[in-house]
Amino acid sequence: MPEPPLRGITVVALEQAVAVPFATRQLADLGARVIKVERPGRGDFARDYDRRAKGLSAYFVWVNRGKESVVLDLKDATDRALLDRLLARADVFVQNLGPGAAERLGLAPDPLRARHPRLITCDVSGYGTSGPYRDRKAYDLLVQCEAGLVSLTGTPDSVARPGISVADIAGGMYAFTGILTALYERERTGEGSALSLSLFDALAEWMGQPYYAEAYGGAPLTRTGARHPSISPYGHYGCGDGGQVFLSVQNDREWRALCERVLRRPELVEDPRFADNPLRHAHDEQLTAVIEECFARHTAEGVLALLDAAGIAAARLRTVAEFTAHPQLAARDRWREFGSPAGPLRGLLPPVTVAGREAVMGAVPALGEHTAAIRAEFEGPEGPGARRG
């Protein structure tokens, strides 16, 4: 098996919570050496978010696989000197400290890159480095609120938080792709880059479709529960056994197939209420009644069989436990074990599959597990094998 593509790349991460750790974990999965710098005491506060993964934090396990943990007190001169030696040999430095903290610690990108021109720096903030929200603390749900996402999530009567950390994931993905782009650019120019991004800007990009729909659509958007806000039929429909089936019709060809082969109501194709998607969406309540009248004669499994035979996209509403046992994941051998302080854990391979190669999926580190080894490796004023410039 060939070496991982980022073998030989060293990443130093002053990281906490989810966004930056999610980005650097993906670099570790590609073979990069990720040195996670944690504060004395309890380390990254995401270690204490919960105890649901064999006594470990599920958040921490998810985003910190394959890293080395070193505990440093950056107010201590000896530890700060060790960090400087780490940075002298690093390819990437990424941080998501609080507003202004990197500058106070002398870790702003300009002075770092003046000393190390090949270094790629990546600063991740909540709302950016300027503007009235610069100094605000930014946690995932709060950023979702400011970006308008929560206003669109839930039922007409109540907002709801999406079930995953959407703002953190958006920020982490842009940090990951930005770092990969900077590494590619450095191969051509020999120079590093100074990257910066905010969770707010990352999620704002993902709000593009709602923005265009409301800005140019003439009316505010509304919450639609588990129904699609602009496509119909697209959502959940009750069946005769009390079950629910989710289905999606994306075009007029599929609409015809639904009417003729599933609903057995071919006259609906010519019904002026349902002539195209905007009209179907405008008459969604009436359309739902028609669909559920038909589905009431079948079980949920029977409806799924009819939809599959007609080529209509459909899905079951699965719980997390049912997702874990999903036959598609099992059939494609997507699960692997990796180490942790609590023993072996099971996790999914990263989404991108490369022929002849598999992600590294190293162990989750205990707090400070690698401190002694890293101190020994980077001993002396520059450290063995130091890279200058």
Rounded to whole angstroms, the Cα distance separating 179 from 185 reads 10
Calculate mean pLDDT across residues 232-258: 95
Residue 191 lies in a domain: yes
The values of phi and psi at residue 12, to 5°, are -105, 125
The radius of gyration of the chain's CA atoms, rounded to the nearest angstrom, is: 25
> Count of residues for the chain?
389
Rounded to whole angstroms, the Cα distance separating 19 from 32 reads 18
Residue 255 lies in a domain: yes
* Total tally of structural domains belonging to the chain: 2
pLDDT for residue 2: 83
pLDDT digits (tens, 9 = 90+) for 10-53: 999 999 999 999 999 999 999 999 999 999 999 999 999 999 99
Instruction: Quote the Cα angle for 346-347-350, to 5°.
Output: 155
pLDDT digits (tens, 9 = 90+) for 63-91: 999 999 999 999 999 999 999 999 999 99
Residue entry with tokens 């409301």? 214
The values of phi and psi at residue 31, to 5°, are 105, -5
CATH assignment of the domain containing 61: 3.40.50.10540
Residue 310 lies in a domain: yes
Q: Which of 116, 228, 283, 370 is catalytic?
A: 228
Q: Is 283 assigned a catalytic role? A: no
pLDDT for residue 384: 43
Q: Give the pairing of strands 120-125 and 92-95.
A: parallel
142 within 8 A of 17, measured Cβ to Cβ: no
Domain's final residue, options 274, 294, 317: 317
Same domain (yes/no): 79, 179: yes
CA atoms within 13 A on the CB side of 9: 28
Distances in whole angstroms, Cα of residue 308 to Cα of each of 62, 304, 320: 34, 6, 23
Which of helix, strand or coil describes residue 33? strand
Q: What's the pLDDT band for 381 if we cut at 50, 70, 90?
A: low
CATH assignment of the domain containing 298: 3.30.1540.10
Torsion of CA 173, 175, 177, 182, to 10 degrees: 180
Domain's final residue, options 317, 350, 368: 317
pLDDT for residue 218: 86
Q: What's the pLDDT band for 1 if we cut at 50, 70, 90?
A: confident
Rounded to whole angstroms, the Cα distance separating 14 from 11 reads 10
Q: Is the pLDDT of residue 382 over 70?
A: no
pLDDT digits (tens, 9 = 90+) for 196-221: 999 999 999 999 999 999 999 988 99
Residue 118 lies in a domain: yes
Q: What is the pTM of this model?
A: 0.90
Same domain (yes/no): 186, 244: no
Same domain (yes/no): 303, 332: no
What domain range is 15 assigned to? 10-207+327-377
Element counts in the chain: helices (H) and strands (E): 16, 13
